[in-house]
Amino acid sequence: MLAPAAPVGGSSVSRNPFSRAARAIGSCFGRRPPPPPDLSEDLKPSPSEQPPPPPKTVLSSSSSSSASSTSTRSMYGSSRGSAKGGSGRGILNSREFVAQAQPQPGSMRFSMAEIHRATKNFSQTLKIGHGGFGTVYRGTLHDGMVVAVKRAKKGDSNNHLGAEFQSEIKMLARIDHLNLVRFYGYLEHEDERIIVVEYVPNGTLREHLDCVHRSHLDLAARLDIAIDVAHAVTYLHMYTDHPIIHRDIKSSNILLTENLRAKVADFGLARLGATGVAHVSTQVKGTAGYLDPEYLRTCQLTEKSDVYSFGVLLVELMSGRRPIEPKRERKERITPKWAMKKFMDGDAVQALDPNLSESPSTNMALEKILELAFQCLAPTKEGRPSMRKCAEILWSIRKDYRELASSDPFSRPSDRRKHSDNEEKMPIKPGKLRTRIVT
Ligand SMILES: Nc1ncnc2c1ncn2[C@@H]1O[C@H](COP(=O)(O)OP(=O)(O)OP(=O)(O)O)[C@@H](O)[C@H]1O
Ligand SMILES: [Mg+2]
């Protein structure tokens, strides 16, 4: 079933000059920007925590965007801190602040000359990745703002890629949420098609799980990331009058900020869910290992296909393994299947990432997260929770985890912290963490 459409913002939206401006920009893409879905009723605060932030649409100029960012920050404040503080979170660094104080999505206009300048003529040294859409570069605009420039070449494209490009820009132009990569603008020039988006500086979730970056993700950080992703996808699913199905939720599409805040990227495969119908029937797309089996069978896409992919992501977060691990022995190759078996056999701890050490609080969180994953991975959509419900459950798990960790002598200091601070993160050496603790 489709998530209910959020209430329309009403006259307050239309009176707001920034909203009007954003609406005008949205109309360039054939649609008006959405009012923010209201989750306040469903995401009630637990007594000891701030409420989870509702999906937020910032329809504002730079200055009011800053104000909005401040209020968003305060909502997240209890669980955020400096990058160097590891799980100590709460303060956005200056770079992040700059990123948030940008003009509204889609409002920036670029010339090809500026893109060439920003990327030093698409210098190899500024290349940060390559994906289905094309090549991604780190760019610096004339005012010093750092952006990610996604470049596709018309020459390389066929109709399929063209449709994906159009899809991506339409989505991005209308989307604005702290946990979604922000869209700044796009450009078509001769055979070049360029998208300029927020640069997210700290690599992908997959890279972090692979310990490509120096530090590794502790359980508190993984829980926060899961919640960030749940918020972002809830926002997409509750998008006013046109729910958006991401269709490619996976760890390499989760980008991390320096504070380990997650931002969901890559809406190239996203399609608007049709209003008033229970599914969108279209060509099967997505990434092996994350694909909803029901969608594969029926080609009928609903928000619950994202929930399935999110279930795979939860298993990935807890186990550290990729969804498909071809080099492992047969019964361990399909990670969700293997992890769910361990969970069902009462042996969830065997699915724990070797980079995480066991403790009562970790084991409790692991069990509960795998239980949620189990629900998300239900064979049919009816058995799966909504994304909003996933966010609620994760909030409750985090609350219990923090409470238990605070009285857990075996947990690491970052896990014991109830609220953010700026303590230095403990250097962790992978492989030294699997100390079994008898409870
Ligand atoms: N906004 C961004 N900020 C920083 N790095 C980015 C950004 N977008 C993409 N990247 C980097 O570029 C790489 C390629 O991204 P891209 O989205 O083109 O492909 P992908 O996600 O790896 O694969 P797929 O096409 O299957 O989604 C990413 O893995 C990431 O390392
Ligand atoms: Mg991507």
Look at 130 and 106; give whichever has higher pLDDT: 130
Which of 163, 197, 231 is the endpoint of a domain?
197
Smallest CA separation from ligand 1 atom 21, residue: 253
- Better-scored residue on pLDDT, 418 or 106: 106
pLDDT band at 192 (very low <50, low <70, confident <90, very high): confident
User: Where among 156, 173, 197 does a domain terminate?
Assistant: 197
Quote the mean pLDDT of the chain.
Answer: 72
Answer with the one of 146, 164, 197 that is the final residue of a domain: 197
Write out the DSSP string of 81-130.
--GGGTT-B----HHHHHHHTSPPTT-----HHHHHHHTTTT-GGGEEEE
CATH number for 190: 3.30.200.20
Based on the fold, state whether residues 178 and 249 are members of the same structural domain: no
Ligand 1 proximity of 265 Cβ (cutoff 6 Å): yes
Residue 389 marked ligand-binding = no
pLDDT in tens, 29-88: 333 334 334 343 333 333 333 333 333 322 222 223 333 333 333 332 233 333 333 332
Both 148 and 286 in a single domain?
no
416-439 pLDDT per residue, tens: 444 443 333 323 232 222 222 222
Has residue 235 got a pLDDT over 90?
A: yes
- Rg over alpha carbons for the chain, rounded to the nearest Å, is 21
**pLDDT (mean) for 405-423:** 55
- With respect to residue 89, please indicate whether it lies within any of the assigned structural domains: no
Question: Are residue 214 and residue 163 in the same domain, yes or no?
Answer: no
Q: Report pLDDT for 195.
A: 86
Q: Does 375 reside within a domain?
A: yes
Among 136, 186, 247, residue to substitute to test ligand 1 (most atoms within 8 Å of Cβ): 136
399 and 324 together in one domain: yes
Average pLDDT on 305-315 reads 98
Please pick, among 176, 248, 266, 408, the residue that the annotation labels catalytic: 248
Q: Is the CB of 147 under 6 A from ligand 1?
A: no
Tell me, yes or no, whether 406 lies in a domain: yes
**The predicted structure's pLDDT at residue 392:** 98
Mean pLDDT of 345-368: 97
Does 163 share its domain with 185? yes
The pTM of this model reads 0.72
Q: Could you give the percent of the chain with pLDDT greater than 70?
A: 59
User: In which domain, by residue range, is 187 found?
Assistant: 72-77+103-197
What separation in angstroms does the CA of 141 have from each of 44, 71, 265, 282, 417?
41, 27, 21, 38, 39
Q: Do residue 175 and residue 217 come from a single domain? A: no
User: How confident is the model over 311-323, as pLDDT tens digits?
Assistant: 999 999 999 999 9
Tell me the C-alpha distance between 31 and 241, whole Å.
Answer: 11
Give the CATH number of the domain where residue 427 resides.
1.10.510.10
Q: How far is the CA of 81 from the centre of ligand 2 (A)?
A: 26
Q: Does residue 119 sit in the same domain as residue 166?
A: yes
Q: In terms of C-beta density within 10 A (0-12 exposed, 13-18 middle, 19 or more buried), how is residue 10 classed?
A: exposed
Q: Are residues 277 and 358 in the same domain?
A: yes
pLDDT digits (tens, 9 = 90+) for 269-290: 555 444 444 555 556 678 889 9
Number of domains in the chain: 2
DSSP 285: -
Are 175 and 227 contained in the same domain? no
- Based on the fold, state whether residues 152 and 297 are members of the same structural domain: no
Neighbours of 38 (CB within 10 A): 14
60 in a domain, yes or no?
no
- The answer on pLDDT for 367 being more than 50 is yes
CB distance 136 to ligand 1 below 6 Å: yes
Is there a single domain that holds both residue 165 and residue 313?
A: no
Q: Are residues 248 and 316 in the same domain?
A: yes
Task: Note the pLDDT of residue 162.
Answer: 64
Residue 185 pLDDT grade (very low, low, confident, very high; cuts 50, 70, 90): confident
